Amino acid sequence: MEIAHKLNKINQRIYQAATKAGRDPRKVKLLAVSKTIPAAVLLEAYKAGQQDFAENRVQEWLNKVPELPADCYWHIIGRLQTNKVKYLDQRVSLIHSLDRLALLKRLEEHGARRDLVWPVLVQVNIARDDAKTGLLREEVADFLIEALNYPHIRVNGLMTIGLFEADIQETRGFFRDLRRLRDDLKKEFPKEFTLNELSMGMSQDFEIAIEEGATIVRVGREIFGER
Domains of the chain: 2-224 (3.20.20.10)
Where the chain has pLDDT below 50, the residues are none
For the chain, the farthest-separated pair of C-alpha atoms sits apart, in whole angstroms, at 48
Give the chain's radius of gyration (CA, Å): 17
Q: What is the pTM assigned to this prediction?
A: 0.96
- Could you give the 3-state DSSP secondary structure of residue 17? helix
The per-residue pLDDT for 225 is: 87
CB-based contacts of 6-13 (< 8 A; 24+ apart in sequence): 6/222, 6/223, 7/32, 7/45, 7/48, 7/49, 7/50, 7/223, 8/48, 10/219, 10/222, 10/223, 13/206, 13/207
The per-residue pLDDT for 1 is: 65
The per-residue pLDDT for 166 is: 79
The per-residue pLDDT for 226 is: 79
